Amino acid sequence: MSVTITFPDGSERRYDSDVTGAEIAASIGPRLAKAAVAVKLDGVATDLNRAIAQDGMVEIVTEDSEEGRHVLRHSAAHVMAQAVLDLFDGAKFAIGPPIADGFYYDFEVEQPFTPEDLERIEERMAEIIAEDQPFERDELSVAEALDVFGNQPFKTEIIESVDEQEGAGGSEVSVYRNLEFVDLCRGPHVPSTKRLKAVKLMRSAGAYWRGDENRAQLQRIYGTAWESKAALAAYLERLEEAERRDHRKLGQELELYSFPSELGSGLAVWHPKGGLLRTIIEDYSRRTHLAHDYEIVATPHVAKADLWQQSGHLDFYAEGMYPGMVLDETTEYRMKPMNCPFHILIFGSRSRSYRELPLRLFELGTVYRYERSGVIHGLMRARGFTQDDSHIFCEEKDIAAELQNLLDFTLMVLRDFGFTEFEADLSTKDPEKYIGSDDLWDKAEDALRLALETAELPYEVAEGEGAFYGPKIDVHVRDAIGRRWQLSTLQVDFAQPDNFDLLYASDHNTRERPVMIHRALMGSIERFVGILVEHYAGALPGWLAPVQATIVPVADRHVAYASEVAERLHTEGLRIDVDAADDTVGEKIRRAITQKHPAVLVVGDSDVAAQTAGLRLRGEDERRGVALDEVAASLVELCRAPR
């Protein structure tokens, strides 16, 4: 008997029946055999040592692919559990999947793991790996499995719930053994533990069983595993790079903002340089909105609780709001967690005509949300922040055109700030929970889809993930080190116009309900600044840099000339500092560079004589003796705002 195997390139080979993936890989080449960690048979990943009994498509999964690393990490998770069960008597193990860049395993143990425990576990894992223990697959009946895992309550629960993800499907469950250690698992795994060449434990943390905070709190250990020591080192370097870019650290070093504990958690103060950066961004936001036919409004930070009752926020969102302030023992006020009700009141302040629509109200609106203490993270997740928020009131027939324009506007803004890679999520109707007619939903979803396709934006549909009041698009960007951030959100809302009984007079003089679009492009100014700082590692482009150039006088006698040069450049609208401190030239240059200023000018005797300066642009070598006009032209070009 023989089987015909088809490869991804379309070629075919015949093998003896019951050939294994390992043998197929070996028949193709020794390098492939060495790199193989699993095999995909008709798209389903399985172990290298399983016999293939029928014709099919075969793809060898190698350790340097994402799928291959997945296998490595899954196997590493087993080895970690094995080590923990070896070292900690009575430890119960729960689940241990591969995740992006690593893996984890959850345990129930007497005491939380200490850093020293992690070292011991890592050492034990190294021993297990060195022993080259084979991973062997076995299929057990439910009864057998319950017997094997009799003293493991989490495993028992998985078996009883017949969780296919964890290897328990139908009447059989699959398990993997290496030596005495056995775990429920769907596989596949590497053939033996020695294939794990670069494994490192990262940290431990609390986590809930099944992610449910009402259930047992387990101890999770995170680890990472890679195909080689070099790949592991590169990953650790990436983590360090992310740490170097941390906007909380850079914000302090560059004197942009801080979080005084006297204010309370999640509340930032903006120092002069950060305040300037913010102002530049806000000015950009206002002028581009005005240019796109938005009208700027302003609204207060508090409002009567009744308003939030009417908008529904107090029913659905009370936990996220600051508590009430009762005035005169009768009236309760709340900090605003959103701007929409205010904009709605402006719309409803008088009768509206179809001639005014779409009516686009824009506000840099500062809102306050009582985020749970554990989730606060610098500017990324704060309790007070300013949205570049707008509510667009339009006729049903205009939704498509409006969304189209809006998405174009959104991408323009994101590109202006230097982002080039975008991905979107389209969240659609949850058939269980929605308001508004199916027809309206279909129209809105079609309009969102069309807008995405016209903009050639790659997107994924999140089926049923829309809010009950309408579908939405979220736009994500990739930053300089490949991280994904959600920035913009465009939401269609069929509910609030109803809640507030908004009407306009149509061209037939009938009263019609407008459709509302909520949208924020940067999302929150605070968070946007945080993301920019991390994206640029603090080295902001010229137009955003609070100080665009520092002038360094070589000696005291050059300070006057330095000030003249600064004056000259100020007239071009440039933001220039003169560093007249009593330090060496080297020290002042170092200071300007570590402060990430886009340009440094050095002026000495020869520059005074020739009306020139030494010009050193970020990342470039210095040019000596550049004429001031050329310096000015060069800096103006470097610091030009996108619009």
Catalytically active residues are 340, 369, 387, 389, 391, 472, 518
Binding of residue 317 to RNA (CB under 7 A): yes
Contacts to RNA from residues 108-147, by CB under 7 A: 112, 114
Selected from 614, 628, 631, 638, the binder of RNA by CB under 7 A is 614
For residue 390, the surrounding DSSP H or E stretch is strand 384-394
Selected from 127, 228, 606, 633, the binder of RNA by CB under 7 A is 606
Q: Which is nearer to RNA, 130 or 435 (CB)?
A: 435
For residue 299, give the nearest of 254, 255, 248, 335 by alpha carbon: 335
Binding of residue 531 to RNA (CB under 7 A): no
How is residue 164 written in tokens? Answer: 């296919």
Query: How deeply is 460 buried, as exposed, middle or buried, from its count of CB atoms within 10 A (0-12, 13-18, 19+)?
Result: exposed
Selected from 102, 191, 337, 384, the binder of RNA by CB under 7 A is 337
Q: Which is nearer to RNA, 2 or 114 (CB)?
A: 114
Contact map string, positions 218 to 257, toward RNA, x by CB under 7 A: -xx-x-------------------------x---x-----
Q: Which is nearer to RNA, 214 or 330 (CB)?
A: 214
The answer to whether the CB of 162 falls within 8 A of the CB of 189 is: no
User: Where does this chain touch RNA (CB under 7 A) — which range of 50-58, 88-96, 374-382, 563-571?
Assistant: 374-382
Can you say whether the dihedral through the CA atoms of 296, 300, 305, 306 is positive or negative?
negative
User: ∠514-282-456 over CA atoms, to 5°?
Assistant: 60
Q: Give 513's DSSP letter.
A: P
For residue 58, give the nearest of 28, 34, 83, 81 by alpha carbon: 28
Q: Which is nearer to RNA, 289 or 336 (CB)?
A: 336
Shortest reach from residue 232's CB to RNA, in Å:
18
Peptide bond before 358: cis, by omega within 30 degrees of 0? yes
User: Where does this chain touch RNA (CB under 7 A) — which range of 224-232, 296-304, 507-515, 548-556?
Assistant: 548-556
The answer to whether the CB of 627 falls within 8 A of the CB of 612 is: yes
Binding of residue 206 to RNA (CB under 7 A): yes
Binding of residue 96 to RNA (CB under 7 A): no
Peptide bond before 553: cis, by omega within 30 degrees of 0? no
Q: Which is nearer to RNA, 123 or 316 (CB)?
A: 316
Q: Which is nearer to RNA, 49 or 491 (CB)?
A: 491
Cα separation of 218 and 225, whole Å?
22
For RNA (CB under 7 A), the number of binding residues is: 66
Spell out a b/e string for 58-81, using b for 16 or more CB atoms within 10 Å of the CB, else e.
Answer: bbbbbbebebbbbbbbbbbbbbbb
User: Where does this chain touch RNA (CB under 7 A) — which range of 32-40, 212-220, 341-349, 627-635?
Assistant: 212-220
Shortest reach from residue 581's CB to RNA, in Å:
7
Shortest reach from residue 195's CB to RNA, in Å:
27
- In single-letter form, the type of residue at position 503 comes to L
For residue 217, the surrounding DSSP H or E stretch is strand 217-226
Selected from 145, 607, 628, 632, the binder of RNA by CB under 7 A is 607
Can you say whether the dihedral through the CA atoms of 494, 500, 501, 504 is positive or negative?
negative
Query: How deeply is 151 buried, as exposed, middle or buried, from its count of CB atoms within 10 A (0-12, 13-18, 19+)?
Result: exposed
- In single-letter form, the type of residue at position 130 comes to A
User: Where does this chain touch RNA (CB under 7 A) — which range of 393-401, 431-439, 514-522, 583-591?
Assistant: 583-591
The answer to whether the CB of 96 falls within 8 A of the CB of 105 is: yes
User: Where does this chain touch RNA (CB under 7 A) — which range of 119-127, 261-269, 389-397, 401-409?
Assistant: 261-269
Binding of residue 13 to RNA (CB under 7 A): no
Query: How deeply is 302 buried, as exposed, middle or buried, from its count of CB atoms within 10 A (0-12, 13-18, 19+)?
Result: middle
Binding of residue 338 to RNA (CB under 7 A): yes
Binding of residue 316 to RNA (CB under 7 A): yes
Binding of residue 297 to RNA (CB under 7 A): no
User: Where does this chain touch RNA (CB under 7 A) — which range of 120-128, 214-222, 275-283, 285-293?
Assistant: 214-222
Residue ranges that bind RNA, judged by CB under 7 A: 112, 114, 203-208, 211, 213, 217, 219-220, 222, 248, 252, 259, 261, 264-266, 313, 316-317, 320, 337-338, 367, 369, 371-378, 381, 467, 554-557, 581-587, 589-590, 593-594, 600, 602-607, 613-614, 616, 622, 624
